[in-house]
Amino acid sequence: MSRPDVRELPVASAGLRRGEVVVPTRVGDAVHGVLSCPAAPLVAASLRARGRPVRLADLTGRPSADADARLYLVTCPQEDGGTAAVAAAAAPGDALSAAAARAAVEEWAAVCANRSLLMASTPWCSGALHAAGAARQAAADHQGTGRRVHVLTPAAMPPETLSALAELGAVVTDSLDEVEPGDVVVVPAHGVTAERRAEVARRNVTVVDATCPVVAAAQAAAGRAADGRSHLVLVGQRDHAATDPIISQAPGRVTIADTPAKTAAVGAGNGGPVSYLLQPGLAPEAGAPILSALRSRYPAARPAVPAEICYAPSDRAGTIYSVALGSDVMLVVGDPRAGDTRHVCGLARDSGTKVQLIGDVADIKAAMLASVQTIGLAESTSARAGLAAETLTALSGLGRLTVARRRLATEKAAGVLG
């Protein structure tokens, strides 16, 4: 797609102040009629970076010969067959603002093109999404009944769900102090400790247990190991949300091993049996070296049962790597300070693809898209509500954008293949 020409059009100056640039969210064009401007946040960010005051506005009044302000505009086709605009306007006689407006439009016009966007699937696993749905349903069912819904932390769920829970009057809390008889308590996907569960039971409340089935199986396995007088090695991370609920099922009989070296600390000096368990949330391939070291030290060690393998981390890592590998640039949306954001960026960089961290739509720069035909997009669990959608919308305003979603999933076979 060739670079579109920037047109200079007269517009009514109503509301335009000297010194500012107005970036339209919709604009009237004599050729195409009223056009949407999905890339308006990108143009506005460029102008702010130039030190210009910017205001977003609807400029759908059709241009006229009597208008005195100047509008700079390019149009580009959309995937749905329509047309979008990239535009900015300056007040009459304001040469500096007019120059800035034109420069910003030209900057983005230079990267308008037909592109593909390859998007990684949701960062939330099925267990987290199930818990989010259960909490939201409980809040909706009890709204206005006088029975308050308390969602225990850590409430690992999409920010949109957390906002919906707040609107429905539910409370996300790590304390049971305000829970009253008859209230509803939602157990989160990572579960709660045995002590916390017993405390909830004493309060005469309705319990919605949204513990992930894989986490629940791990808790049951820990309890079974303790009943068998076995010492349990939990291969995982001490600060993971599922850890305390699991080890609470076997107090004093669990060693956490997060490196192969930590397997030397296993308390098996009494000659008792050793069992091991892979923590839900840890990719099997990450735990493999630790399990290998454990079995080398304790050949008689056996897996704790019943237990299930959590494949969600591996599937997510594979999805992100695959998306990055098939892209010219990889955009990772999320809070730059969050550990999950750094983790996603690391997974993407392993592919060799250039990675750009997007904490806000304004972080997208035109230079990132130069000579780019395929954009990869992955979302961190730390991304604020709507950021991925806003990013997608802004990019769609720069030409035809074909969007595909990719998700790698491990399927459990029903039987042995022969």
Q: What is the DSSP string of 135-162?
A: HHHHHHHHTTSS--EEEESP----HHHH
- pLDDT value at residue 29: 83
* Nearest-angstrom CA–CA distance, 368 and 387: 18
pLDDT higher than 70, residue 159: yes
Residue 126: pLDDT above 80? yes
Q: Which residues contact 269 (CB under 8 A, 6 or more apart)?
A: none
Which DSSP helix (H) or strand (E) runs through 225?
helix 213-227
**Digit-coded pLDDT (tens) for 251-271:** 989 999 999 999 988 865 556
Mean pLDDT of 279-303: 94
How far apart are the two ends of the chain, measured CA to CA in Å? 52
**pLDDT band of 28, cuts 50, 70, 90:** confident
The reported pLDDT for the residue numbered 61 is 65
Mean pLDDT (whole number) for 248-253: 93
- The answer to whether the beta carbons of residues 242 and 220 sit under 8 Å apart is no
Q: Is the pLDDT at 199 greater than 50, yes or no?
A: yes
Q: What is the mean pLDDT of the chain?
A: 92
* Domains of the chain, first to last: 7-112 (no CATH), 118-122+312-406 (3.40.1010.20), 126-211 (3.40.50.11270), 226-303 (3.40.1010.20)
Residue 64, pLDDT above cutoff 80? no
3-state secondary structure of 418: coil
Run of H or E residues at 302: strand 302-303
* Nearest partner of 344 among 378, 302, 308, judged by Cα: 378
In the block, tokens 């100047």 appear at: 70
**Are 297 and 266 in contact, with CB atoms under 8 Å apart?**
yes
Q: pLDDT at position 1, please?
A: 47
Cα separation, 192 vs 144, in Å, equals 27
Which class for 239: exposed (0-12), middle (13-18), buried (19 or more C-beta within 10 A)?
exposed
Q: Which pLDDT belongs to residue 266?
A: 82
pLDDT at position 47 over 90: yes
Residue 337 above 90 pLDDT? yes
Strands (E), 126-259: 149-152, 171-173, 184-187, 206-209, 231-235, 254-257
Q: Has residue 77 got a pLDDT over 80?
A: yes
Where on the phi/psi map is residue 283: left (φ > 0), alpha (ψ -120 to 50), or beta? beta
As a whole number of angstroms, the distance between CA 166 and CA 124 comes to 20
**Residue 187 pLDDT > 80:** yes
What is the pLDDT at residue 17?
A: 85
What secondary structure letter does DSSP report for 106? H
* pTM above threshold 0.95: no
Kindly tell me if the per-residue pLDDT of 86 is higher than 50. yes
Whether the predicted pLDDT of 318 surpasses 90: yes
Question: What confidence category does residue 62 fall into, taking pLDDT thresholds of 50, 70 and 90?
Answer: low
